[in-house]
Amino acid sequence: ETGVTQTPRHLVMGMTNKKSLKCEQHLGHNAMYWYKQSAKKPLELMFVYNFKEQTENNSVPSRFSPECPNSSHLFLHLHTLQPEDSALYLCASSQGLKNTEAFFGQGTRLTVV
């Protein structure tokens, strides 16, 4: 069983749809992250949660709405997305926010049509 699991692995949605991405970590970590990886761009941090509290929101549009019900689960709710939102969305977790590595899930490949 991998440490960080993301579902679904692939998602195709229309611009008027509402969908959610799910991330679950089995590592006992306290911090969880959402990253966006677009083609030919560095990873962009979207949100950070530490002990279920959101600590960072990197100017992400409101059509992306995160939810962290507990330290093991993280969701990204999507609605009225744009085609330019098509990307690989990666979830990660770490033990705290300091000098520890982050462990990533396999990502959700999102295509907005």
- Token couple for 46: 């979207």
Gap between the Cα atoms of 86 and 83, Å rounded? 6
Q: Which of residues 39-68 bind other proteins (CB under 8 A)?
A: 40-43, 45, 48, 56
Between 42 and 69, name the residue whose CB sits nearer to other proteins. Answer: 42
Residue 83 DSSP code? G
CB 13 within 8 A of CB 7: no
Contact between 33 and other proteins per CB under 8 A: yes
CA 12/CA 48 separation, integer angstroms: 25
Choose which of 21, 32, 92, 112 interacts with other proteins (CB under 8 A).
92
In the complex, the residues that contact other proteins under the rule CB under 8 A are 2, 33, 40-43, 45, 48, 56, 88, 90, 92, 96-99, 101-107, 109
